[in-house]
Amino acid sequence: MCFGLFPSLRHAFLVMSLCLMVPSGLSWAASAREPLNIVVTIPVLKDLAEQVGGDHVRVTSLLSGYENEHTYSPKPSDLIAVRRARLLFEVGIGLEVWVSNLVKNAGSPSLSVITTSKGIGLVRDGHAHNGDHPEGEDNEQGNPHVWLDPENAVTMMRHITEALTQADPDHAQVYRQNQAAYLKRLDQLRTELVGRVRGLSDRRFIAHHPAWPYFARRFGFQIAGTIQSQSGSEPSALQIQNLIATIKKQKIKVVVSEIQLSQKLPDLLAKETGTRVVVLTTLPGGLPRTETYLDMLRYNVLQLANALEPA
Ligand SMILES: [Zn+2]
């Protein structure tokens, strides 16, 4: 009916414009009732986005808790998920080197990519995840494991809430209320965990991979050495010898490993020195009782505290 005869070109143009407006108006109304499609790179962002968005969002995490964020390579289903999404949340800081190609291949003009680490003060310890550009300037970006400090998770959540209220202003008030309620719970948990660590006389540990500088700084732990200096790089026999000497000399009692890594070297150190190995997770869902960010935080702090000084 839009292609009838019109008395003038101007009239025809008006009617055609109306025809174009109606379907797009209808699809807008339909999409306002549909949950907002969101893709995130790692499970911690899924949890934070769901805490804010509730029923109004449908969140897909590209990585599950069991994969290693360094060595991940996207699956064909990831491309489909990104094509469907309005928002993509990433950590940034070179953690997800594979995201930019995925977004380029998806070629979706309505997709917004939000870097949730923006504004966080970074630890520059030489640990980078940008394996594609080892010589590049990105190497100076800083350690990407920011989310293991709850203060940084607050910043990340604020970016998420901001993006949700912009993409879906109808539910802006709900998003802000959800954020406020969550931040209260996060603050309570942080106070409780800081209290647990304060009671420890020895807070030193050896880390398997350098994932813990933000976590250690927030809770008052001390990293006395690291097995891998770069992600995925095996230490030499000499480096292992030096680590064993350090552990013995300084009487370090605990090695922190991660469920996403091989336990071979931590177990070797334990055998040689009598240290305890405690396996933690950098991603929610990596271990039982770590399904949410808050559960993961509690698990990591209490397991480590108990290994350092059994209660
Ligand atoms: Zn790392």
CA dihedral 150, 155, 158, 163 (to 10 degrees): -120
Q: What's the gap in Å between 112 CA and the centre of ligand 1?
A: 26
Q: What's the gap in Å between 26 CA and the centre of ligand 1?
A: 46
Q: What's the gap in Å between 70 CA and the centre of ligand 1?
A: 7
- Does residue 138 have a pLDDT over 90? no
Pick the closest to residue 1 from 16, 23, 21, 17 (CA basis). Answer: 16
Q: Is 84 exposed, middle or buried (0-12, 13-18, 19+ CB in 10 A)?
A: middle
Q: What's the gap in Å between 177 CA and the centre of ligand 1?
A: 33
| Number of Cβ atoms within 10 Å of the Cβ of 178 | 20
Residue 95 CA, distance from chain mean position:
9
- State the pLDDT confidence band at 227, using cuts at 50, 70 and 90: very high
Q: Is 163 exposed, middle or buried (0-12, 13-18, 19+ CB in 10 A)?
A: buried
- Does residue 231 have a pLDDT over 70? no
- State the pLDDT confidence band at 32, using cuts at 50, 70 and 90: low
Q: What's the gap in Å between 279 CA and the centre of ligand 1?
A: 16
- Percent of the chain's residues with pLDDT above 70: 84
Q: CB neighbours of 115 closer than 8 A, spacing ≥ 6?
A: 90, 91, 92, 159
Q: What is the pLDDT of residues 172-203, one digit of tens each?
A: 999 999 999 999 999 999 999 999 999 999 99
- Does residue 143 have a pLDDT over 60? yes
Instruction: Pick 233 or 235 by higher pLDDT.
Output: 235
Q: What's the gap in Å between 230 CA and the centre of ligand 1?
A: 7
Instruction: Set out the domains of the chain in order of their start, with CATH numbers.
Output: 34-190 (3.40.50.1980), 197-308 (3.40.50.1980)
Q: What's the gap in Å between 209 CA and the centre of ligand 1?
A: 6
Q: What's the gap in Å between 35 CA and the centre of ligand 1?
A: 33
**Ion ligand 1 neighbours, Cβ < 5 Å:** 231
Q: What is the pLDDT of residues 237-288, one digit of tens each?
A: 999 999 999 999 999 999 999 998 999 999 999 999 999 999 999 999 999 9
Mean pLDDT on 96-100 = 89
Q: What's the gap in Å between 229 CA and the centre of ligand 1?
A: 9
Q: What's the gap in Å between 144 CA and the centre of ligand 1?
A: 7
Interatomic CA distance for residues 110 and 269, integer angstroms: 51
Say if strands 112-115 and 204-207 run parallel, antiparallel, or are unpaired.
Answer: unpaired
Q: What's the gap in Å between 263 CA and the centre of ligand 1?
A: 16
